[in-house]
Chains A and B, each alone.
Chain A
């Protein structure tokens, strides 16, 4: 499949999609910032048009036969060639639509959510920057371009997570997100360098088609794993998963964006983007599978004890990302991508719904929300339930189908343990999702809604009118529709992603469907018993096991470990020692040298006594010795 050059129409549309958000960023940030409404309008237009362009492109290329490639030299020097351009193929087109759609919806939603916030214009500028980076990442034609926008995605999420930076926890979370993903990117970057030095070609098509043939297996695995480090950081996989729950400090729409289509999706997208490359190295795929599984189970357990609604969804994101990686690691390319797509829809929906509650009740604790009468808000409550059901994989929602594809991919593996672990994960997901849903639907007692206290971070709450409510509700409905519809689009998408060719029909495991339905039902049933039924204590079985509870609530002490490492190794050891060395040894040495020089000067000044006879001594002595020397030698 040799790439073809784009025609004028395609070029225009793609560049529009890539360029407009950047334009919007500069325009809003530097020019229109004082005029909030104008800024929002600019930003909305500049994210709406790329969405239309993306849809147009997708529709126009539903039966595309060869990837479309267009690129310029961005930088060249010393054997490194960095290109800037776009690569249109089914995967990038699908992802482009997802990204533009979610970011557009989030921008619409933010109109209501951020109403009255003094930094609203700046917020929209950052959203545009975020959209620009992600779109350019998705369309990247070369790995280096992908890396560059990968970093920019990290930067924009840093800016957005720490958007309410007067809160210490927010700025801390932003920093944590940036540094932890940077740690992973280190591996990504080294992987790129390894590929560059050994292959000399960083174009995605080239990597996918030739890398396996031209690299030795060892190098291939090494570079694949190094690149996967970047995925681990960005998609918050084990062991770098703790930044994502903290990233909840950002405004909720940002979380929606972050969790569904942009930041964390980038990691999974990268693996799918380079999927043929990864297929060249079974060991690397094996690691992907292992990391995905560990992450999924670990974060599911964390979600089971969380009481902050956003935390629950954050853990579920991590676990679902792990699930996608399991699918990819098992060789199910379509499974991973399909789950990514459906997940983007329902996870965005979950966050946006939660945002409505948070906005309304000024709390993140869903027990408190429920007591305050959350079930009174019909649209968000219904859509939340729908999305939650999709998350736990209830038929006939999108989540069910994508989950089944992933499980089917896992079933292809020779070792059945992976499949059972995947099913176990699905059960845990159902349990914690329904736990939350039951608590929300069936609060133990209702309280009068609390006064809208000063909840740091939420500007003024003057805009509670119907308009604001509906501005926030409309995207919910769109996403809910997607959540329902995407389930049916599975086969179509599959053939689209496979370039229209019919796929070898995999074995259908009817028992698998029943098994997973059973597990989901068990999880949901357990949740019903503990939280849903009348008179339930609304305390999970885990609360009777304080050891496990603490372990899960403290994120398996991963954060503690990082804190310890940072405090005692980075700050306590290296930083302190190097600083001491700088003060005492390097600087002290120089100062000592200077003092010694001064001392020597003082010593020599003693010779200058003004006593002529001493000069005479020296003179005579030297003359005599010189005379002796010339005589004797």
Chain B
């Protein structure tokens, strides 16, 4: 697959169809990859596709100038579609190299399951229903559904929704919508007071690094509301109250754009379970407004559209 990907990417650059290729290259840590943004053919040889291509590269589309060839997994392709819907990018300026994805390995889950850190693990191999983890010569087999990212478990679109070139065969969604929802369900089962306490506790350790916002392809405001000074909506100090307001408003702002790709939770250095928020908002948008982000490039953005009858039981 990697060979085919490199061949196609190289061709795009050589034929002058794109100015830049955005893809994944091997990372400098074990089981990691890093975004590769390049205009040089020589660098194409380092393009990779594996179970650790975690970044949502759509984030870079609005930054990199010119025509772009971008490697996209199913979830990334939805973010790209969403950017097209919002007129952030023009469809004709992007060549989407679709890569069907059978799920990405959540290194944090593996670390917990084998009780070792990333750098202490020798090998992780995704083999269908099993993930084989080698530590110090000993091999442990984990059920795949315990080692993948929550979102991959309930992935609806493992094959990109929108692409110009597809590398490999399409994969059908076989995953169960109910999987990977445990944390959210657990929260829903609590009293409102307990839920609020839960989030208060989570946001009290936020350090305001804004990694969640910065990696998010749906967060593309020129100026984020937290940076506005007149009025100053939130204080620029990491108080849990302001952190919580930031995250609530961020979720509302990206409603209909957020594909619940989970990058925000993955990058959070202080382990705030942000996916339990995005998942909820994604579900609400789906249930209340029958809308799924990034599935139809011709649909109007969620918040600009309306139906004559909706949310009737909420607002009377």
Same complex origin of A and B: no
Residues of chain A having any CB pair with chain B under 8 Å: none
